[in-house]
Amino acid sequence: MEKMKNISKLAVLFFIFTALLGCRTTGAGTYRMTFDPSIDDEYVQGAWMSYTVPIRNDMFQYYKKNPKGDYITPFNVEITARNNLINFYSNVQKEYDIDIYDTYIEDLIKIRDSGNLNEYVFFSFNPGNWTNNKDFDKDSYTQWMNNNMPFHIPLTLAHVEKIK
């Protein structure tokens, strides 16, 4: 009975979260969150939705100051977004005892547990304007990935865009 109450609470929160983030108008514009159609699990979609939150928040702040600018997700925001993704997914599994499995997020957990999440994000998702201020060692990182996750493909299955 308690498990059902928890799942019901999660479903309500998920619905509210979806309604708030799906397409949101603010003083700095209207934003749309889109999700890859390959996501067929509502909890995995919830995890990706949590990924979009820091990006949308940062994008909102950016466009308040630069209404005609071209937003590019900063490194620290992308790190926060990937951590949100992992944390939401892990919390759903633990808190609600829900059996979900997503290969990409499970890989991301392994990468974070190894201490390589910063390097992974920097070398896999750099839009070209991030600078290597932390002296990430690409050779060591690449060797770790080749030894531990040779078939891993970096993905982003949720996106935020300003539409007005």
- Where do the domains of the chain lie? 2-162
pLDDT tops 80 at residue 10: no
pLDDT tops 50 at residue 141: yes
CB 55 within 8 A of CB 49: no
The string of DSSP codes covering 48-97 is: HHHHHHHHHHHHHHHHHH-TT------HHHHHHHHHHHHHHHHHHHHHH-
Q: What is the pLDDT of residue 164?
A: 78
**Whole-structure pTM value:** 0.84
Q: What is the pLDDT of residue 39?
A: 96
pLDDT tops 70 at residue 52: yes
pLDDT tops 70 at residue 4: no
Query: Is 136 in a helix, a strand, or coil?
Result: coil
Tokens of 86: 């992992």
Question: From CA 145, how far away is CA 57, in angstroms rounded?
Answer: 31
Q: What is the pLDDT of residue 152?
A: 98
